[in-house]
Amino acid sequence: MPMIEIAHVSKWYNPTFQVLKDCTLDVAKGEVVVVCGPSGSGKSTLIKCVNGLEKIDQGTITVDGIRVDAPETNLPKLRARVGMVFQHFELFPHLSVTDNLCLAQMKALGRSRDQAVAKAMALLDRVGLKAHARKFPGQLSGGQQQRVAIARALAMDPIAMLFDEPTSALDPEMIQEVLDVMVDLAREGMTMMVVTHEMGFARSVAHRVVFMDQGEIVEDAPKAEFFGKPRSERAQTFLSRVLVASH
């Protein structure tokens, strides 16, 4: 059974604009799937449907055997087990780095403050930011903030991690420090669905690459096959563009 199962999902933002068209995609346990595609193709929308931040109109989404789209599903409970990292970090600016990591551990998982802080410290150490525990998000660089955001998601002991363009709002010199953390995570066997145009990341740790265009999943192939020779012309054009852009 796949960890994330997206089956025949369609979504409309209004009656005339269909943002997702019959999307089907599985992510197995321990698998790393990279989703790419041109701007506006629906990548963010698709990944937000996985934890129910966006509603779907047709099809089904199942995470660890639980139907995300079923009205009886306790969404907060499900989301607490699925980590999400955003393009613009979305750290809570009024809370210290430590409190950013502790808030949901305490409120959603019911951990004691001591347990939560211990976990927070271990994770901050892991992403190399233990020295910044007492600072506020606004006092950190973009790369540091995004590492804190990853640590915040990991503090919930997630069964899968969703990343929506985690490095595209960063200055070029900070991208690598964030990718390093993600690569480590992938190597440890975390289930990951990653929207990114960092093809270097895809090449080194992805198992599969999915290409989206205009709300459709145009291509879903093992990494070697995708980089070897994508079947669709649209993916080829896209790939040649991002590969040129990143060199």
Partner 1 sequence: MFSDFDFDVIARSARYLLVDGLGFTLTLTALATAGGVVFGTLLALARLSSLPLLPRVAGLYVNVLRSLPLVLVIFWFYFLVPYIGQWTTGASRPIQVGAFWSALITFTLFEAAYFCEIIRAGIQSIPRGQIAAGQALGLTYAQVTTTIVLPQAFRTMLPVLLTQTIVLFQDTSLVYVISITDLLGAAAKVAQRDGRLVEMYLFAAAIYFVISLTASLLVKRLQARIAIIR
Ligand X SMILES: Nc1ncnc2c1ncn2[C@@H]1O[C@H](COP(=O)(O)OP(=O)(O)OP(=O)(O)O)[C@@H](O)[C@H]1O
Site residues for ligand X per CB under 6 A = 13, 19, 37, 39-45
Q: State the number of binding residues for partner 1 (CB under 8 A).
A: 32
Q: Binding pattern to partner 1, positions 100-119, x when CB under 8 A?
A: ---xx--xxx----------
Q: Which is nearer to Mg ion, 100 or 196 (CB)?
A: 196
- Measured from the Cβ of residue 122, the count of other Cβ atoms closer than 10 Å reads 14
Q: Is residue 134 close enough to count as binding partner 1 by CB under 8 A?
A: no
Q: Binds 246, which of Mg ion, partner 1, ligand X, none (CB < 5 to 8 A, cut-off by type)?
A: none
Minimal distance, residue 57 CB to ligand X, in Å: 13
Please, which of residues 65-94 interact with partner 1 by CB under 8 A?
Answer: 75-84, 86, 88, 90-94
Residue 93 CA to residue 158 CA, distance in Å, equals 23
The span from the CA of 132 to the CA of 232, in Å, is 46
With a CB cutoff of 8 Å and minimum separation 6, the contacts of 35 are: 43, 46, 47, 193, 194, 195, 196, 209, 210, 211, 212
> Strands, DSSP E only, in the chain?
4-14, 17-27, 32-36, 58-63, 66-67, 82-85, 160-164, 192-195, 208-213, 216-222
Region binding Mg ion by CB under 5 A among candidate stretches 43-51, 94-102, 115-123, 131-139: 43-51
* Least separation in angstroms between CB 51 and partner 1: 6
The Cα-based distances of 230 to 40, 210, 240 in angstroms read 21, 10, 11
Residue 16 or 74 with smaller CB distance to ligand X? 16
Facing residues of 233 across strands? Answer: none
Q: How far apart are CA 147 and CA 115, in angstroms?
A: 21
Quick one: which segment of 20-28, 42-50, 67-75, 148-156 binds Mg ion (CB under 5 A)? Answer: 42-50
* Residue 105 touches Mg ion, criterion: CB under 5 A: no
Tokens, residue 84: 């999400």
Given CA atoms 5, 196, 234, 55 in this order, what sign does their dihedral have? positive
Among residues 41, 44, 51, 145, which is the contact residue for Mg ion, using CB under 5 A? 44
Residues that bind partner 1 (CB under 8 A): 48, 51, 53, 75-84, 86, 88, 90-94, 103-104, 107-109, 136-139, 152-153, 156
Residues that bind Mg ion (CB under 5 A): 44
